[in-house]
Each structure stands twice: as structure tokens, then as C-alpha cells.
Structure 1
Amino acid sequence: MKTLQFKTNINCGGCIKAVTPALNQEAGAGNWQVDTANPDKILTVTTDQLTAEQIVAVVENAGFEIQAA
């Protein structure tokens, strides 16, 4: 398992709710979290198969900004 971290603009419960279906489908429920208390809104993903580029695409397709932390 590798852990990837990203800065995002996912900053509230509504934002998390909007991105949850896509991240659950790609990364799996329980394999990701967003620290909305962190000023950079850090998304942490634990995965065996996904690349950073795939995660960026999923989050951008959900309408959010994301970059490597």
C-alpha cells in the first residue's frame, strides 16, 4: 500500500459528499480522507493500484482543484 497526499479545495461536508461517490468507486470506501481543518485541505489516499494522476483526474472530474502536496 502506498499513501498519496494532495492539496485540494474540498473544504466542507457538502464538498466531501460531492466527491465521495467518485473516490469510493476508484479508491474504495475507507481508503481516503480529507482533512478540512488543514489550511491546504489535504486529501490522503491509501492505494495499491491508483496513480497520483488517476486520483487527480477523479477529483478534477468531480469539480474540485487538486495538486500534489
Structure 2
Amino acid sequence: MNTLKFKTNINCGGCLSKVTPFLNEEKNIKKWDVNLESDDRILTVETSDLTEEEVKKTVQKAGFKAEAV
């Protein structure tokens, strides 16, 4: 299992509700979380199969940006 971390522009609960269906639908994401308390809004993703680029594309489908940290 790999843990990937991304700086995002997911800023609030409303943003979180928009990105949730996209991350939940990705079968290869075992667990994910966005730390809204962090200034960088860190998205943490646990996956065994996805690359950083694939996670970034999933977040972009929801209309948000993700940059690997």
C-alpha cells in the first residue's frame, strides 16, 4: 500500500462534497482524506495501484488541482 500526498485547492466542506464522489468511485483508492486545517489543504490517498498522475487526474475531473508533495 502506498500513501500519496498532494497539495490541493480543496478549501471547504462544499469543495470536499464535490470531490468526494470522484475519489470514492476510484476503485483503487483504499482510503483518502483532505486536511482542511492545513494551509496547503493536504490530500492523503492510500492506494496499491494508482500513480500520482492518476490521482491528480481524478481530482482534476472534479474541478480541483492537486500537486504532489
Taking structure 2 as the reference length, what is the TM-score of the superposition? 0.92
Structure in which a larger fraction of residues adopt strand = 2
Separation in 2 of the partners of 1:42 and 1:18? 16
Residue 46 of structure 2 is aligned to residue 46 of structure 1: yes
Residue segments in structure 1 that go unaligned for 5+ positions in a row: none
Taking structure 1 as the reference length, what is the TM-score of the superposition? 0.92
Identity of aligned residues (%): 52
Q: Which runs of at least 4 in structure 1 moved beyond 6 Å after TM superposition?
A: none
Separation in 1 of the partners of 2:46 and 2:39? 21
What secondary structure sits across from 2:64 in the alignment? coil
In the TM superposition, what is the alpha-carbon distance from 1:66 to its structure 2 partner? 1.1
Residue segments in structure 2 that go unaligned for 5+ positions in a row: none
Separation in 2 of the partners of 1:66 and 1:48? 19
Separation in 1 of the partners of 2:49 and 2:65? 22
Residue 5 of structure 2 is aligned to residue 12 of structure 1: no
In the TM superposition, what is the alpha-carbon distance from 1:65 to its structure 2 partner? 1.3
What's the Cα RMSD here?
A: 0.8
